[in-house]
C-alpha cells in the first residue's frame, strides 16, 4: 500500500531532551515536507526537500532540523525541544514539486513538550 | 491579505442538502488547486484537484475554478453526517511550487 509513515504517533517529552520523528514514504516521491498544525494557525511548513541531500527552510524552521540521506526517509529533529513546539506534526510527500502533484500526508505525530 | 482565504465556519447544513465551500487566493499566476478533508485529529486527505477553469465532478463532489475571479469552490451534494469535517483549500505557488493552505472551513452536517 502506498503510504507515508510517521513514528511515533504520540510523544510526550521534557524541555531540552533531543527527539527525532521519523517519516518514510514508499512511493518513490522526490518531494517531502514537514508541517505543524496549531489551532487558529493552520498548516505551516517547517522544512522541505526536493530530493536527496537537498533541503530548505519553510515558514517556521526555527528549532528544527531535517536530513534527506535517502529518498524514502525525511526525519524531523528537535535538538532542544521547548513547550512552544507542542503541536500536531505532519510529514507529506509528492512525486515532485511541480504543478499537478498533490501532497500525500502521513498520519501525524502529536508532540507534547512539558 | 492572506494568500489563501477561507471562511472558518462552521457551515451547518442538513443531511441531504448541498454544502458549498469557498476559497479565494491572491496569486493570479496559480495553476493548481486542491481540496483536502481533515477529520479532527487526523491527517488531511486529498479529495479533489482542479487545474482548469470550470467544473470537475467526482461522485458527490464538484470542484469549481474561476481563475479570473481567483476563487475555487467545492460543492458536496447529498451531504451526509460523515462529511462533517474541516475542508482545506490548497493552492500551489507557481514560483516556488509550495502548497499553501487556507485555514479551513468546518462543515457540520446535521441528521
For the segment B34-83, what is each residue's pLDDT rounded down to a tens digit?
Answer: 999 999 999 999 999 999 999 999 999 999 999 999 999 999 999 999 99
Check whether B22 has a pLDDT greater than 80.
yes
Q: Is the pLDDT of residue A63 over 80?
A: yes
Q: Say if CB B34 and CB A105 are below 8 A apart.
A: no
B42:A108 CB<8 A: yes
DSSP letter at A69 equals S
Cβ neighbours of residue A81 closer than 8 Å, sequence gap 6 or more: A13, A14, A15, A16, A17, A18, A19, A63, A111, A113
- Give yes or no for a contact between A12 and A29, defined as CB atoms under 8 angstroms apart: no
Grid cell digits, residue B71: 476563487
Averaged pLDDT for residues A47-72: 95
Tens of pLDDT, residue by residue over A19-45, are 999 999 999 999 999 999 998 888 999
Chain B nearest C-alpha distance from A49 (Å): 11
Q: What is the pLDDT of residues B95-111, one digit of tens each?
A: 777 889 999 999 999 99
- Give the model's pLDDT for residue A96: 80
Q: What is the pLDDT of residue A22?
A: 98
A81 pLDDT band, cuts 50/70/90, is very high
Q: Is the pLDDT of residue A102 over 90?
A: no
What does the buried/exposed string (b/e) look like for A4-31 if buried means 16 or more CB atoms within 10 Å of the residue's CB? Answer: bebeeeebebeeeeebebebbbeeebbb
- What residues pair up with A45 in beta bridges, in sequence order? A35
Nearest residue, CB atoms, A105 vs list B43, B92, B104:
B43
**Rounded CA separation A44/B100 (Å):** 9
Containing A74, the helix (H) or strand (E) segment is none
Percent of chain A with pLDDT over 90: 87
Distance from CA of A39 to the nearest CA of B (A): 9
Phi and psi, residue B26, nearest 5°? -100, -30
Alpha carbon A64 to chain centroid, angstroms: 10
Contact B49 A48 (CB under 8 A): no
Give the model's pLDDT for residue A99.
63
Amino acid B71: pLDDT: 95
Amino acid at each position: 500500500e502506498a503510504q507515508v509513515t510517521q513514528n511515533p504517533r504520540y510523544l510526550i517529552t521534557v524541555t531540552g531532551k533531543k527527539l527525532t520523528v521519523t517519516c518514510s514514504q514508499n512511493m518513490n516521491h522526490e518531494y517531502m515536507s514537514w508541517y505543524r498544525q496549531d489551532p487558529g494557525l493552520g498548516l505551516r511548513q517547517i522544512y522541505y526537500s526536493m530530493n536527496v541531500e537537498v533541503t530548505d527552510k519553510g515558514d517556521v524552521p526555527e528549532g528544527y532540523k531535517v536530513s534527506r540521506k535517502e529518498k524514502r526517509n525525511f526525519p524531523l529533529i528537535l535538538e532542544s525541544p521547548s513547550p512552544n513546539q507542542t503541536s500536531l506534526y505532519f510529514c507529506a510527500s509528492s512525486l515532485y514539486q511541480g504543478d499537478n502533484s498533490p501532497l500525500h500526508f502521513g498520519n501525524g505525530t502529536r508532540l507534547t513538550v512539558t | 491579505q492572506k494568500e489563501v482565504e477561507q471562511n472558518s465556519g462552521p457551515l451547518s447544513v442538513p443531511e441531504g442538502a448541498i454544502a458549498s465551500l469557498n476559497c479565494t487566493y491572491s496569486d493570479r499566476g496559480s495553476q493548481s488547486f486542491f481540496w483536502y478533508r481533515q477529520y479532527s485529529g487526523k491527517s488531511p486527505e486529498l479529495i479533489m484537484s482542479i487545474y482548469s477553469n470550470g467544473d470537475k465532478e467526482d461522485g458527490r463532489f464538484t470542484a469549481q475554478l474561476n481563475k479570473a475571479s481567483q476563487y475555487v469552490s467545492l460543492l458536496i451534494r447529498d451531504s451526509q453526517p460523515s462529511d462533517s469535517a474541516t475542508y482545506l483549500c490548497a493552492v500551489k505557488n507557481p514560483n516556488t511550487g509550495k502548497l499553501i493552505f487556507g485555514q479551513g472551513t468546518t462543515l457540520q452536517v446535521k441528521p
